[in-house]
């Protein structure tokens, strides 16, 4: 533990923080993390400063009160004085706090100005919040991907899942694909959202900033300390707000470069990561393989809203079992899943999932829960739907965040 951290702990336990807090052990985290950037360190110092000011004022005020409670009680045979005012002390206790506040305001403003200086960045990443995952798009690198809650946490967090959270590594604070950035570079994030408000926050790297649909906010950090840093979405964004963590891996520049190469190698690979069997020949797809894969995709992607039994949570999240779309033509069904319903939580999954996954999940939905339509949708159907749409699309879909941010709030 750093000296400042220790000071903080001592101060917080000793002063204002009375009573049982002193029973604190290492597991009982008491204070704000110091973090690994210049800004978080400054913020921490500000926090300790203002806390210290409050503790000192508290000691004086509470000291006076406690003294008075013991000394000026009737049971001590006191007779009450009858003074009613004193302009002199009124002036004193108006001006001294004012002076203290001015003294506090100056360093706070300084830090704030430094935080807001987002210029001269080395790396720019467009970060888009979705219900309930993050999308990262490295602006100059042609690398983009979604970052979801990691599988083990996602299983354990279901109501009465029977899994003890303590047995899951980094429960709720782990993702399938972390944001990877190089040490020593000024990383600037451009935050926006495709649906509702979210907030991007990794306490050890920076403060939080809201992701607002239709607007871009900036936030930046820069650290030399290689490591993994965890945080969470910090603005209520609906049902699974607790389940959209953020993980940032700060790596050496070489590792960053090789990571980029790996990501860039084949855009197909990115889709394949999710698809897995993407390059398998079409004739290999049977209802069974599609159903198996579809169930997997459904449980990872759709279940949060439409629920494991397909019943949804009406009226917010419609039942798929009773859905006219699901029972209707395949074309419209694919269209809904591919493009979403703008302005609702039903987002466009076209940019998020590979053709195989989409085919599988649509097949699954049409055949699960006793629907048994027998429809088999193969990846080529999805590809065809995408192609048909590309002709009519206005905005290019090279940039996921841009396209969806533009469309989401519309209509």
- The answer to whether residue 394 forms part of the interface with another protein (CB under 8 A) is no
- The answer to whether residue 226 forms part of the interface with ligand HEC (CB under 6 A) is no
Q: Name the residue nearer to ligand HEA (CB basis): 61 or 395.
A: 61
The only residue of 184, 241, 323, 409 in contact with ligand HEC, by rule CB under 6 A? 323
Site track for ligand HEC across 338-367, x = CB under 6 A:
---x--xxx--x-----------x---x--
132 binds, among ligand CUA, another protein, ligand HEA, none (CB under 5 to 8 A by kind): ligand CUA
End-to-end CA distance of the chain: 53
**Opening angle at CA 104, ends 109 and 65, nearest 5:** 150
Size of the site for ligand HEC (CB under 6 A): 23
The only residue of 132, 145, 221, 298 in contact with ligand CUA, by rule CB under 6 A? 132
Q: Is the dihedral of CA 26, 199, 232, 155 positive or negative?
A: positive
Q: Closest approach of Cβ 372 to ligand HEC, in Å? A: 17
Count of CB atoms within 10 A of residue 209's CB?
19
Stretch that binds ligand CUA, among 88-96, 214-222, 235-243, 337-345 (CB under 6 A): 235-243
- The answer to whether residue 333 forms part of the interface with ligand HEC (CB under 6 A) is yes
CB-CB contact of 251 with 181 (8 Å): yes
**β 227-232/187-193 pair status:** unpaired
- The answer to whether residue 74 forms part of the interface with another protein (CB under 8 A) is yes
Count of CB atoms within 10 A of residue 217's CB?
17
Separation CA 148–CA 300 (nearest Å): 9
251 binds, among ligand HEA, another protein, ligand HEC, none (CB under 5 to 8 A by kind): none
Residue-by-residue DSSP string for 140-162 = TTTEEEEE-B-HHHHHHTSTT--
With a CB cutoff of 8 Å and minimum separation 6, the contacts of 137 are 125, 126, 127, 128, 143, 144, 399, 400, 401
Q: Which two tokens stand for residue 152?
A: 């083990």
- The answer to whether residue 198 forms part of the interface with ligand CUA (CB under 6 A) is yes
- The answer to whether residue 324 forms part of the interface with ligand HEC (CB under 6 A) is yes
The only residue of 8, 129, 231, 245 in contact with ligand CUA, by rule CB under 6 A? 129
List contacts with ligand HEA (CB under 6 A). 53-54, 57, 61, 97, 100-101
């Amino acid at each position: 533990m750093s000296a400042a951290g220790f000071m903080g702990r001592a101060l917080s336990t000793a002063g204002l923080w009375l009573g049982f807090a002193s029973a604190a052990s290492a597991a009982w985290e008491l204070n704000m993390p110091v973090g690994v950037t210049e800004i978080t360190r400054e913020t921490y110092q500000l926090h300790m400063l203002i806390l210290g000011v409050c503790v000192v004022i508290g000691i004086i005020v509470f000291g006076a009160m406690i003294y008075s409670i013991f000394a000026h009680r009737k049971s001590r045979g006191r007779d009450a004085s009858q003074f009613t005012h004193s302009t002199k002390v009124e002036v004193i206790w108006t001006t001294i706090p004012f002076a203290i506040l001015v003294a506090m305001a100056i360093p706070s403003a300084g830090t704030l100005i430094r935080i807001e200086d987002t210029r001269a960045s080395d790396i720019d990443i467009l970060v888009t919040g979705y219900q309930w995952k993050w999308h990262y798009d490295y602006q100059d690198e042609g690398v983009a991907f979604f970052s979801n809650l990691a599988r083990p946490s996602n299983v354990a967090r279901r109501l009465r899942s029977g899994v003890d959270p303590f047995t899951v590594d980094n429960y709720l604070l782990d993702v399938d694909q972390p944001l990877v950035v190089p040490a020593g570079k000024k990383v600037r994030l451009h935050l926006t959202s495709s649906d509702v408000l979210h907030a991007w926050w990794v306490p050890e790297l920076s403060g939080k900033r809201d992701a607002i649909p239709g607007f871009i906010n900036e936030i930046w950090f820069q650290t030399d300390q290689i490591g993994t840093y965890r945080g969470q979405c910090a603005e209520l964004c609906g049902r699974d707000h607790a389940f959209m963590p953020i993980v940032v891996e700060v790596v050496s520049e070489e590792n960053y470069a090789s990571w980029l190469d790996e990501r860039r190698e084949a855009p197909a690979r990115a889709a394949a990561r999710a698809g897995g069997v993407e390059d398998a020949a079409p004739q290999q797809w049977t209802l069974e393989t599609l159903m198996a894969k579809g169930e997997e995709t459904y449980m990872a992607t759709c279940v949060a809203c439409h629920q494991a039994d397909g019943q949804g949570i009406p009226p917010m999240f419609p039942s798929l079992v009773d859905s006219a779309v699901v029972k209707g033509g395949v074309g419209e069904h694919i269209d809904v899943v591919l493009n979403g319903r703008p302005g609702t939580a039903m987002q466009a999954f076209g940019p998020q999932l590979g053709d195989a996954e989409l085919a599988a999940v649509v097949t699954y939905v049409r055949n699960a829960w006793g629907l048994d339509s027998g429809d088999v949708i193969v990846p080529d159907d999805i590809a065809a739907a995408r192609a048909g749409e590309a002709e009519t699309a206005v905005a290019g879909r090279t940039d996921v965040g841009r396209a969806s941010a533009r469309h989401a709030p519309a209509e």
